[in-house]
Structure 1
Amino acid sequence: MRVGVSGKVLRRNVGGNTSYTRTLYTALAPFGIEYEALVPPGDGLGGAVRQLAYAAADGLLWPARPGGADLLHFPADTGALIGSRVPIAATVHGVEDAPVPGLARALWKRTWMARVGRLTEVAGAVITVSRHSAGEIGRVFRIPAARVHVIPHGLDAGRFHPRETGDDALLEPLRLPGGFVLYLGNLDPRKNVTALVEATARLGVPLVVAGGGFLGSGQVERALAGAPHARYLGQVPHELVAPLMRAATVFAFPSGHEGFGMPVLEAMACGTPVVTSDRAALPEVAGDAAVLVSDLDARGIAAGLETVLSDDRAAADLRARGIARAALFSWEESARRHAEVFTALVEGGGTRA
């Protein structure tokens, strides 16, 4: 089978969606599935030009002209706006429909939701990564349950593991503080990084933040710049992610909404105790292997961190539970289930008008 895949996240690292897509298609190769990255003119440009190029190509060009593909796959929430003569599969990671502050962010969210909704209409199958996200998708877009397939992410055990061989040399140029709390992810305001900055200041512990900016993240960036105890590394190279997680005393991810929460799983696999929120899909991923925080203000986050930082026995228990929990998530199993969905679409002629 040959799958045409939007190159939007394949060709440029944008975090979790890129990791998902690249790792998935590596894992799909043994199942006889080849892929072609669909790349429009303008891919090499930045900003709005690249976004518009992909919006037009994903939305109209590839569905109208799928070439030699047996199936089109849009792996990052948005994509086709029209049907195609070949089946379409959509991966929608999550669709939080709560209002967001700020006019620019509200307009972006409304446009994004409309594009996601249209993709779910034309797709023969909608893949999502958690039961929570499946419930959101069904409620918001009224998608029949038979077209929604819950396939959790796997874990790259070759990268994310407790062994520290070579980490010191990779991290030495960063001159990291000792005993630090780590946040790794983008600076979307819903991730509550500003509250985490205040929480770690209350506790008097260093905070290291790694991740790129996001629409509306200016306030978060200012909070980091004004906090003497915090180090903001920006978006770090692929090879530093796991070493950073292993070096941290605690990994904090107090997000208000996640369709899955891949950094939580990766940190647990590295043997680092995790403090995260009890919202959306995060409890589903973390199970009993993390401290779940209900109050996402500075006081509540600080209390969650304190339960780990003040109790070596609790921290050791979380390390053991996290490693065991992460071992349950396999990219081979995720790829097998994707292959089943793709095959059923192609063999069944799963196109929609």
Structure 2
Amino acid sequence: MNKIGIDARLLAYRDGGISTYIRSLAQAFSDDEGPLNITLFAHRKAAERITPNLAEKKLITPPHNRFEQIALSIELLPHQLDVFHSPDFIPPLRGAKRHVITVHDLTFLHYPQYLTANARRYYNDKIDWACHHADHILAVSSSARDDLMTLLNIPESKITVQPHGVDPRFRPLSKEACHPVQEALHLPDDYILHVGTYEPRKNIIGLLTAYKALLAQMPDAPPVVLVGRPGWLFEETQTQIAALDIDEHILWRMNVTDEQLPAVYNLARVLAAPSFYEGFGLPLLEAMACGTVPIASDRSAFPEVMGDVGLRFDPEDSDAIAEALRIALTDDAWYQDMCQRAIQRASSYTWANSAEIARRVYTSLL
């Protein structure tokens, strides 16, 4: 039987983002592995198995290590893999007969100023090689595919679009079901929600600048809840936010667990996603699955994820962001219609479909 390996080492180091992609894809394969023999390659630091139904091997090489490509190749060699899938961009030099990578975004090429110097060096030095070394590339959106073609001259025939799915946990919940989470996190009855790493690319400053303008028109506007964790250049972001002098209207929540997140979405009036760039935008999809209306940037992958749901704006136009917030908070008829559209739109995105796309790519390389 053909041997397929998936790199799952990142799960031992972080949650969210690419880790969510890896875990969700693994679970979908666990539910329906099909004719392929799939093995997950986790890091030895991982405390728990990723999924009970797939074979799992432990590796020593940590992700994002300067010697990773060589060390990982050596570790994989005894497994004699036919295909090795690297969901975190960078494949090993060898390790399998064929290599698949997933490209989630090309932020480091679009906005290098939003990364630390070390991050810029790591990605810029490797991404061009990785894309040309890989036998096939999975791009999480049409926007990411177009970036690969435009910025790195990758032929379209080498790329397959593989949208994210949304976990069934993200669904409309009653106020009663959400109450324990609301109490635990000290959340108000109504709020504007932002979910994402605290870093410049997410344009939290743009959101809060617009929100400050909104407060001048609507002093009773609900507060902004920022759910996430510190990322690149966090101190700079904090300094800029403090200068806005609206601290009493901002609630930072850095301790939200994955289990609490569906309730956090459900309790929000609106999800605001003003990012300058995203390869996909999973919080948009999760919020819509919960019936929470998104307002988001009109850039990169957001329009294709949202479809006709919510409102879009220029992320560099604070007046446009403020107006989108005002509509979402005050137009109840529009809002109720959007809630239903959001749920319907999100239902078309499943991890089973995402896994099937990956499975077809693996099979095509055998």
- Per the normalisation by structure 1, the TM-score is 0.88
Q: Which residue of 2 aligns with 1:60?
A: 70
Q: Distance in 2 between matches of 1:51 and 1:189?
A: 30
Structure 2 counterpart of 1:322, from 331, 339, 342: 342
Structure 1 counterpart of 2:173, from 139, 150, 163: 163
Q: Which residue of 2 aligns with 1:248?
A: 268
What is the CA distance between 1:201 and its match in structure 2? 2.7
Q: Which residue of 1 aligns with 2:56?
A: none
Structure 2 counterpart of 1:36, from 26, 36, 40: 40
Q: Which residue of 2 aligns with 1:95?
A: 106
Amino acid at match of 1:251: L
SS of residue matched to 1:267: helix
CA deviation vs aligned residue, 1:18-57 (integer Å, no higher than 9, x gap):
11110101101212343222426x889xxxxx99764246
What is the CA distance between 1:185 and its match in structure 2? 0.6
Q: Distance in 2 between matches of 1:276 and 1:51?
A: 38
Q: Distance in 2 between matches of 1:64 and 1:140?
A: 31
Structure 2 counterparts to residues 52-131 of structure 1, below 5 A: 54-56=64-66, 58-66=68-76, 67-68=78-79, 69-80=81-92, 82-96=93-107, 97-101=109-113, 105-106=116-117, 108-131=119-142
8 Å contact 2:182–2:188 — kept in the other structure? no
Structure 2 counterpart of 1:173, from 157, 169, 184: 184
8 Å contact 2:206–2:315 — kept in the other structure? no
What is the CA distance between 1:126 and its match in structure 2? 0.6
Q: Distance in 2 between matches of 1:53 and 1:320?
A: 41
CA deviation vs aligned residue, 1:44-82 (integer Å, no higher than 9, x gap):
9xxxxx9976424641222344232332211122332x2
1:132 corresponds to 2:143: yes
Q: How many residues align?
A: 337
What is the CA distance between 1:138 and its match in structure 2? 1.6
Change in Cα spacing, 1:171 to 1:17, as seen in structure 2 (3 Å) is same
1:301 corresponds to 2:321: yes
What is the CA distance between 1:284 and its match in structure 2? 0.8
Q: Distance in 2 between matches of 1:151 and 1:36?
A: 19
The two structures, once aligned, show a CA RMSD in angstroms of 2.3
What is the CA distance between 1:150 and its match in structure 2? 0.6
1:292 corresponds to 2:312: yes
Q: Which residue of 1 aligns with 2:293?
A: 273
Q: Distance in 1 between matches of 2:171 and 2:146?
A: 32
1:196 corresponds to 2:203: no
1:14 corresponds to 2:26: no
Amino acid at match of 1:31: E
What is the CA distance between 1:15 and its match in structure 2? 1.4
Q: Distance in 2 between matches of 1:75 and 1:58?
A: 15
Amino acid at match of 1:22: R
Amino acid at match of 2:153: R
Structure 1 counterpart of 2:163, from 145, 149, 152: 152
8 Å contact 2:271–2:287 — kept in the other structure? yes
Q: Distance in 2 between matches of 1:279 and 1:71?
A: 34
Structure 1 unaligned spans of 5+: 45-49, 348-353
CA deviation vs aligned residue, 1:71-119 (integer Å, no higher than 9, x gap):
2211122332x244421110011113224337x7255224312222222
Amino acid at match of 2:38: E
Q: Distance in 1 between matches of 2:323 and 2:304?
A: 22
Structure 2 unaligned spans of 5+: 48-59, 216-220
CA deviation vs aligned residue, 1:296-349 (integer Å, no higher than 9, x gap):
34322111111111100111111111111101111111111111111222x2xx
8 Å contact 2:100–2:136 — kept in the other structure? yes
CA deviation vs aligned residue, 1:210-264 (integer Å, no higher than 9, x gap):
1111111222233456521001111521111111000001110111101111110
Change in Cα spacing, 1:288 to 1:190, as seen in structure 2 (3 Å) is same
Q: Which residue of 2 aligns with 1:343?
A: 363
**Identity over aligned pairs, percent:** 28
8 Å contact 1:192–1:256 — kept in the other structure? yes
Change in Cα spacing, 1:101 to 1:122, as seen in structure 2 (3 Å) is closer
Change in Cα spacing, 1:166 to 1:223, as seen in structure 2 (3 Å) is farther
